[in-house]
Amino acid sequence: MGKVKIIIGKKMLCGVLGIPGVGKTTVLNAAAENVELKRLNFGNYMFAEAQKMSLVKDRDDMRKLPREQQADLQQKAAEQIYKDSRDGNAIVDTHGSIKTPQGYMPGLPENVLRALNPDAIVLVECDPRDICARRNRDVSRNRDPDTVEQVDEHQMMNRCFAAVYADLTNSTVLIVKNEEGKVDEAGKKIAKVFE
Ligand code: AP5
Protein backbone atom coordinates (compact mmCIF):
# COMPACT_ATOMS: atom_id res chain seq x y z
CA MET A 1 0.00 0.00 0.00
CA GLY A 2 1.28 3.52 -0.84
CA LYS A 3 2.12 5.94 1.94
CA VAL A 4 -0.61 8.29 3.14
CA LYS A 5 0.49 11.89 2.64
CA ILE A 6 -0.49 14.56 5.12
CA ILE A 7 -3.07 16.97 3.67
CA ILE A 8 -2.27 20.51 4.61
CA GLY A 9 -4.69 23.41 4.94
CA LYS A 10 -2.12 26.17 5.23
CA LYS A 11 0.99 27.23 3.39
CA MET A 12 4.33 27.06 5.13
CA LEU A 13 7.94 27.68 4.27
CA CYS A 14 10.53 25.71 6.18
CA GLY A 15 14.26 26.31 5.94
CA VAL A 16 16.26 23.11 6.33
CA LEU A 17 19.85 23.70 7.36
CA GLY A 18 22.73 21.31 7.79
CA ILE A 19 26.41 21.12 7.07
CA PRO A 20 27.66 19.52 3.82
CA GLY A 21 27.31 15.76 3.85
CA VAL A 22 24.95 15.56 6.84
CA GLY A 23 22.33 14.14 4.48
CA LYS A 24 19.84 17.01 4.00
CA THR A 25 18.92 16.06 0.45
CA THR A 26 18.55 12.38 1.32
CA VAL A 27 16.35 13.17 4.33
CA LEU A 28 14.24 15.64 2.35
CA ASN A 29 13.55 12.96 -0.25
CA ALA A 30 12.21 10.84 2.61
CA ALA A 31 10.16 13.75 4.02
CA ALA A 32 8.55 14.29 0.60
CA GLU A 33 7.13 10.77 0.77
CA ASN A 34 5.07 11.85 3.78
CA VAL A 35 3.88 15.33 2.89
CA GLU A 36 3.11 17.29 -0.28
CA LEU A 37 5.76 19.95 -0.59
CA LYS A 38 7.98 21.73 -3.03
CA ARG A 39 11.72 21.27 -2.44
CA LEU A 40 13.89 24.17 -3.43
CA ASN A 41 17.65 23.73 -3.23
CA PHE A 42 19.30 27.08 -2.49
CA GLY A 43 22.64 25.83 -3.85
CA ASN A 44 21.00 24.98 -7.22
CA TYR A 45 19.65 28.53 -7.53
CA MET A 46 23.01 30.04 -6.62
CA PHE A 47 24.87 27.71 -8.97
CA ALA A 48 22.58 28.59 -11.89
CA GLU A 49 23.33 32.29 -11.32
CA ALA A 50 27.06 31.63 -10.84
CA GLN A 51 27.19 29.73 -14.13
CA LYS A 52 25.37 32.51 -15.98
CA MET A 53 28.09 34.86 -14.75
CA SER A 54 30.87 32.31 -15.52
CA LEU A 55 32.07 32.47 -11.90
CA VAL A 56 32.51 28.72 -11.22
CA LYS A 57 32.37 25.38 -12.98
CA ASP A 58 31.80 23.25 -9.84
CA ARG A 59 29.14 23.98 -7.17
CA ASP A 60 31.67 23.15 -4.47
CA ASP A 61 33.78 26.13 -5.60
CA MET A 62 31.06 28.69 -4.74
CA ARG A 63 32.00 28.80 -1.05
CA LYS A 64 35.52 29.88 -2.05
CA LEU A 65 34.32 32.93 -4.03
CA PRO A 66 34.87 36.40 -2.52
CA ARG A 67 32.25 37.14 0.13
CA GLU A 68 30.66 39.97 -1.89
CA GLN A 69 30.10 37.64 -4.86
CA GLN A 70 28.58 34.96 -2.62
CA ALA A 71 26.32 37.60 -1.04
CA ASP A 72 25.17 38.73 -4.48
CA LEU A 73 24.40 35.12 -5.48
CA GLN A 74 22.51 34.61 -2.20
CA GLN A 75 20.33 37.65 -2.87
CA LYS A 76 19.54 36.54 -6.44
CA ALA A 77 18.73 33.00 -5.26
CA ALA A 78 16.47 34.28 -2.48
CA GLU A 79 14.48 36.50 -4.86
CA GLN A 80 13.83 33.60 -7.25
CA ILE A 81 13.04 31.15 -4.43
CA TYR A 82 10.56 33.65 -3.01
CA LYS A 83 8.72 33.66 -6.38
CA ASP A 84 8.86 29.88 -6.74
CA SER A 85 7.63 29.11 -3.23
CA ARG A 86 4.40 31.12 -3.14
CA ASP A 87 1.94 28.45 -4.30
CA GLY A 88 2.12 25.84 -1.53
CA ASN A 89 4.22 24.29 1.19
CA ALA A 90 7.89 24.55 0.51
CA ILE A 91 11.20 23.49 1.94
CA VAL A 92 14.37 25.40 1.21
CA ASP A 93 17.35 23.04 1.37
CA THR A 94 20.24 25.25 2.43
CA HIS A 95 23.03 26.03 4.85
CA GLY A 96 22.99 27.70 8.27
CA SER A 97 26.52 28.89 7.69
CA ILE A 98 29.06 28.56 4.91
CA LYS A 99 32.60 27.64 5.80
CA THR A 100 34.68 30.00 3.66
CA PRO A 101 38.49 30.30 3.74
CA GLN A 102 38.00 33.53 5.79
CA GLY A 103 35.58 32.08 8.34
CA TYR A 104 31.88 31.24 8.79
CA MET A 105 29.50 33.29 6.68
CA PRO A 106 25.74 33.37 7.39
CA GLY A 107 23.73 31.18 4.99
CA LEU A 108 20.70 33.39 5.61
CA PRO A 109 21.93 36.95 6.16
CA GLU A 110 19.20 39.39 7.09
CA ASN A 111 18.27 40.42 3.52
CA VAL A 112 17.91 36.76 2.51
CA LEU A 113 16.06 35.83 5.68
CA ARG A 114 13.58 38.68 5.26
CA ALA A 115 12.99 37.68 1.61
CA LEU A 116 12.26 34.07 2.51
CA ASN A 117 10.54 34.77 5.85
CA PRO A 118 10.48 31.13 7.03
CA ASP A 119 7.77 29.84 9.39
CA ALA A 120 10.04 27.10 10.70
CA ILE A 121 13.68 26.14 10.72
CA VAL A 122 14.94 22.57 10.85
CA LEU A 123 18.55 21.78 11.65
CA VAL A 124 19.66 18.39 10.36
CA GLU A 125 22.55 17.06 12.42
CA CYS A 126 24.34 13.83 13.13
CA ASP A 127 27.43 12.38 14.75
CA PRO A 128 30.45 14.26 13.27
CA ARG A 129 32.20 10.92 12.65
CA ASP A 130 29.30 9.84 10.40
CA ILE A 131 29.51 13.13 8.46
CA CYS A 132 33.24 12.60 7.80
CA ALA A 133 32.53 9.03 6.68
CA ARG A 134 29.65 10.16 4.39
CA ARG A 135 31.82 12.84 2.80
CA ASN A 136 34.55 10.29 2.14
CA ARG A 137 32.09 7.79 0.65
CA ASP A 138 30.38 10.33 -1.64
CA VAL A 139 32.91 10.71 -4.46
CA SER A 140 30.43 12.63 -6.64
CA ARG A 141 31.22 15.81 -4.66
CA ASN A 142 34.23 17.83 -3.68
CA ARG A 143 33.47 18.48 0.01
CA ASP A 144 36.00 19.85 2.49
CA PRO A 145 38.26 17.25 4.15
CA ASP A 146 37.42 18.49 7.68
CA THR A 147 38.42 16.64 10.84
CA VAL A 148 35.79 15.34 13.28
CA GLU A 149 36.54 18.35 15.55
CA GLN A 150 36.04 20.81 12.68
CA VAL A 151 32.74 19.19 11.70
CA ASP A 152 31.65 19.36 15.34
CA GLU A 153 32.50 23.07 15.47
CA HIS A 154 30.59 23.76 12.23
CA GLN A 155 27.48 22.04 13.61
CA MET A 156 27.76 24.08 16.82
CA MET A 157 28.05 27.29 14.78
CA ASN A 158 24.93 26.30 12.82
CA ARG A 159 22.96 26.13 16.08
CA CYS A 160 24.07 29.68 16.89
CA PHE A 161 23.05 30.95 13.44
CA ALA A 162 19.70 29.10 13.62
CA ALA A 163 18.87 30.74 16.95
CA VAL A 164 19.45 34.19 15.42
CA TYR A 165 17.33 33.35 12.35
CA ALA A 166 14.47 32.14 14.59
CA ASP A 167 14.67 35.28 16.69
CA LEU A 168 14.55 37.57 13.64
CA THR A 169 11.58 35.79 12.03
CA ASN A 170 9.74 34.56 15.12
CA SER A 171 10.02 31.00 13.82
CA THR A 172 10.75 27.69 15.55
CA VAL A 173 13.94 25.61 15.44
CA LEU A 174 13.68 21.83 15.36
CA ILE A 175 16.83 19.71 15.57
CA VAL A 176 16.49 16.45 13.62
CA LYS A 177 19.16 13.77 13.94
CA ASN A 178 19.91 11.90 10.71
CA GLU A 179 21.39 8.79 12.28
CA GLU A 180 23.19 6.20 10.20
CA GLY A 181 20.64 4.06 8.33
CA LYS A 182 17.64 5.97 9.81
CA VAL A 183 16.78 8.32 6.95
CA ASP A 184 13.03 7.54 7.02
CA GLU A 185 12.78 8.38 10.73
CA ALA A 186 14.40 11.77 10.13
CA GLY A 187 12.18 12.41 7.08
CA LYS A 188 9.01 11.73 9.11
CA LYS A 189 10.09 14.19 11.82
CA ILE A 190 10.53 16.93 9.20
CA ALA A 191 7.16 16.13 7.58
CA LYS A 192 5.47 16.64 10.98
CA VAL A 193 6.55 20.28 10.99
CA PHE A 194 3.85 20.84 8.34
CA GLU A 195 1.00 19.37 10.42
P1 AP5 B 1 24.36 21.93 -1.51
O2 AP5 B 1 24.03 21.40 -2.82
O3 AP5 B 1 23.29 22.09 -0.52
O4 AP5 B 1 25.60 21.09 -1.00
P5 AP5 B 1 25.74 20.19 0.30
O6 AP5 B 1 25.58 20.88 1.57
O7 AP5 B 1 27.03 19.46 0.13
O8 AP5 B 1 24.49 19.39 0.21
P9 AP5 B 1 24.33 18.06 -0.44
O10 AP5 B 1 22.94 18.03 -0.92
O11 AP5 B 1 25.35 17.71 -1.45
O12 AP5 B 1 24.67 17.22 0.84
P13 AP5 B 1 23.65 16.79 1.91
O14 AP5 B 1 24.00 17.25 3.27
O15 AP5 B 1 22.30 17.12 1.43
O16 AP5 B 1 23.95 15.25 1.93
P17 AP5 B 1 23.38 14.13 0.94
O18 AP5 B 1 21.92 13.95 1.14
O19 AP5 B 1 23.91 14.34 -0.43
O20 AP5 B 1 25.08 23.35 -1.63
C21 AP5 B 1 26.11 23.55 -2.56
C22 AP5 B 1 26.77 24.85 -2.33
O23 AP5 B 1 25.79 25.90 -2.45
C24 AP5 B 1 27.34 25.08 -0.92
O25 AP5 B 1 28.61 24.50 -0.77
C26 AP5 B 1 27.36 26.59 -0.85
O27 AP5 B 1 28.52 27.09 -1.50
C28 AP5 B 1 26.13 26.99 -1.63
N29 AP5 B 1 25.00 27.36 -0.75
C30 AP5 B 1 23.89 26.63 -0.46
N31 AP5 B 1 23.07 27.33 0.34
C32 AP5 B 1 23.69 28.54 0.57
C33 AP5 B 1 23.34 29.71 1.31
N34 AP5 B 1 22.20 29.84 1.98
N35 AP5 B 1 24.22 30.73 1.31
C36 AP5 B 1 25.37 30.67 0.64
N37 AP5 B 1 25.76 29.59 -0.09
C38 AP5 B 1 24.91 28.55 -0.11
O39 AP5 B 1 24.09 12.87 1.64
C40 AP5 B 1 25.50 12.72 1.66
C41 AP5 B 1 25.85 11.22 1.62
O42 AP5 B 1 25.43 10.62 2.87
C43 AP5 B 1 25.12 10.46 0.52
O44 AP5 B 1 26.01 9.54 -0.03
C45 AP5 B 1 23.97 9.75 1.25
O46 AP5 B 1 23.61 8.56 0.63
C47 AP5 B 1 24.57 9.50 2.63
N48 AP5 B 1 23.57 9.49 3.73
C49 AP5 B 1 22.69 10.49 4.02
N50 AP5 B 1 21.96 10.17 5.12
C51 AP5 B 1 22.40 8.94 5.52
C52 AP5 B 1 22.05 8.06 6.59
N53 AP5 B 1 21.10 8.37 7.49
N54 AP5 B 1 22.70 6.89 6.72
C55 AP5 B 1 23.66 6.56 5.81
N56 AP5 B 1 24.06 7.32 4.77
C57 AP5 B 1 23.43 8.51 4.62
Q: Does the beta carbon of 118 sit less than 6 angstroms from any atom of ligand 1?
A: no
Q: Does the beta carbon of 21 sit less than 6 angstroms from any atom of ligand 1?
A: yes
Q: Is the pLDDT of residue 45 over 50?
A: yes
Read off the pLDDT band of 88 (50, 70, 90). Answer: confident
Give the mean model confidence (pLDDT) for residues 108-115.
Answer: 94
Q: Does the beta carbon of 139 sit less than 6 angstroms from any atom of ligand 1?
A: no
Give the mean model confidence (pLDDT) for residues 40-51.
Answer: 96
Q: What angle do CA 92, 98, 104 make, to 5 degrees?
A: 140
For a mutational test of ligand 1's pocket, the pick from 92, 98, 124, i.e. the residue with the most ligand atoms closer than 8 A to its C-beta, is 98
Q: Is the pLDDT of residue 6 over 70?
A: no
Cite the DSSP H helix spans in 4-147.
Answer: 24-31, 42-52, 67-84, 110-116, 128-137
Q: Is the pLDDT of residue 1 over 60?
A: no
Mean pLDDT of the residues in the chain? 92
Ligand 1 nearest atom to the CA of residue 26, by list position: 18
pLDDT for position 143:
81
pLDDT for position 86:
84
Q: Does the beta carbon of 180 sit less than 6 angstroms from any atom of ligand 1?
A: yes
Q: Is the pLDDT of residue 3 over 70?
A: no
- Looking at ligand 1, which residue's alpha carbon is closest to its atom 36? 107
What separation in Å is there between the alpha carbon of 43 and the centre of ligand 1? 9
How close are the terminal C-alpha atoms of the chain, in Å?
A: 22
What are the pLDDT digits (tens) for 147-183? 999 999 999 999 999 999 999 999 999 999 999 999 9
The values of phi and psi at residue 90, to 5°, are -140, 150
Give the mean model confidence (pLDDT) for residues 55-69.
Answer: 92
Read off the pLDDT band of 7 (50, 70, 90). Answer: very low
- Give the type of residue at 70: Q
Percent of the chain with pLDDT over 70: 95
Task: Please give the model's pTM, rounded to 2 decimal places.
Answer: 0.91
Read off the pLDDT band of 92 (50, 70, 90). Answer: very high
